[in-house]
Structure 1
């Protein structure tokens, strides 16, 4: 004979725990100081040179966007292990809804790691071909910030 269980009893599940995961970064997040600021870290994080296959970079204004590309194409960037769910949420907030997280194979130190990255999730017609440079981006940001300040007049 089958026993009946009360409707309000659910099977117990182990508590959810976030698993640290390598992320592939290819834009402003490759700047350790920017990443430190976003994740509110006590010191700049250590990033490792990395790449992903079958992707390309397009531009959305001044920002790079990772999109699926030819099988023989690769994108260079940096890898960083996101340790907590809170860190992942901070990164999602920074990247906005224009990007979504996608699983990816990351090449680091000659090894392939399962990880995640941010790929373009908005209208592809908003993207244009072009190149992106961290150094140029930093220079543009500094110039933009400087334009908001005027020297004090005596």
Structure 2
């Protein structure tokens, strides 16, 4: 009998379901993760001897009690303020609505929000229909503090929602690759100034790709189409690396150019797939590139983190 078979027959699954509110599948996964985690801080035998009678009366054994300690440590550490650098944007998470946080109204109350977050319907890892809401990192921390203050054993399901932000101004050329849009020479001349092209919801729109998105196999997997590229070179950027291997397009003097591929994004659905692929380490910015010997106004993904030295 292997480990999983033993676990299927174990009372530990029911214990973890009862104590922590896990589903059957979640309980198996959490027990396996706990036993495989060699870095966890174990509860000493002397500590367990002191609390054993009380905790066993509550349904714990030593292993489950050890897991409860790790959950409380996680909640406490998550409630500590984090230092956010100028290049780091606050993280966004999808919170599964379940347990004591099964409605957006309860989430609003627990986190002390002025407005209830918006519901989003989808499927979980097991393919079951479920409901989520978006919360930022500060709300996530407030929910952790609330559950800790209630002595709750419930562990909410948070899924990192990471996508490249697109927020093109209607009043300035911001954001544009390689250009400080606050400088006088880059200010608008009129409401229909070419610097405002492309607009936020303008489709189709040309994108300049320079890294993995310039690989047709990657784009085919993302969009489900056979992509058609055009050789192009963008102005105002330079390629760096981050993480030792990933290409990063960052601002550079306007005389600098980068060679890559241009691709015509047909609609918002295609664009959102690309934003999710690039993650929140990038943002969408206006740019100008040479295409078929002509200047084209388009968009690209600019890296916003720290590049390798």
Q: Smaller-chain TM-score range?
A: 0.5 to 0.7
**3-state SS of the aligned residue for 2:228?**
coil
Q: Within the alignment, does 1:128 sit opposite 2:308 as a pair?
A: yes
TM-score in terms of structure 1 length: 0.67
Structure 1 CA distance for aligned equivalents of residues 203 and 211 of structure 2: 24
Deviation at 1:71, TM superposition (A): 2.5
Q: Which runs of 5+ in 1 are unaligned?
A: 1-16, 130-154
Q: How does 1:55-66 map to 2 (within 5 A)?
A: 55-61=237-243, 62-66=245-249
Q: Within the alignment, does 1:68 sit opposite 2:251 as a pair?
A: yes
When the two structures are aligned, how many residues end up with a matched partner? Answer: 108
Deviation at 1:54, TM superposition (A): 1.6
Structure 1 CA distance for aligned equivalents of residues 235 and 288 of structure 2: 8
Larger-gyration structure (1/2): 2
Structure 1 runs (4+) greater than 3 angstroms displaced: none
The structure, 1 or 2, with the larger RCO (C-alpha pairs under 8 Å, 6+ apart) is 1
TM-score in terms of structure 2 length: 0.34
Deviation at 1:70, TM superposition (A): 2.4
More strand by share: 1
The superposition leaves residues 1-29 of structure 1 with CA deviations (integer Å, 9 ceiling, x where unpaired) of xxxxxxxxxxxxxxxx7520000000001
Q: How does 1:106-117 map to 2 (within 5 A)?
A: 106-117=289-300
Q: Within the alignment, does 1:34 sit opposite 2:214 as a pair?
A: no
Deviation at 1:32, TM superposition (A): 0.9
Q: How does 1:49-60 map to 2 (within 5 A)?
A: 49-60=231-242
Structure 2 CA distance for aligned equivalents of residues 71 and 82 of structure 1: 25
Deviation at 1:73, TM superposition (A): 1.2
Q: In structure 1, what is the equivalent of residue 131 of structure 2?
A: none
Q: In structure 2, what is the equivalent of residue 95 of structure 1?
A: 278
Q: In structure 1, what is the equivalent of residue 227 of structure 2?
A: 45
Q: In structure 1, what is the equivalent of residue 264 of structure 2?
A: 81
When the two chains are superposed, the root-mean-square deviation of aligned CA atoms in Å is 1.3
Q: Which runs of 5+ in 2 are unaligned?
A: 1-200
Structure 1 CA distance for aligned equivalents of residues 202 and 258 of structure 2: 27
Q: In structure 2, what is the equivalent of residue 144 of structure 1?
A: none
Structure 1 CA distance for aligned equivalents of residues 257 and 263 of structure 2: 18
Structure 1 CA distance for aligned equivalents of residues 242 and 251 of structure 2: 15
**3-state SS of the aligned residue for 1:92?**
helix
Structure 1 CA distance for aligned equivalents of residues 238 and 202 of structure 2: 29
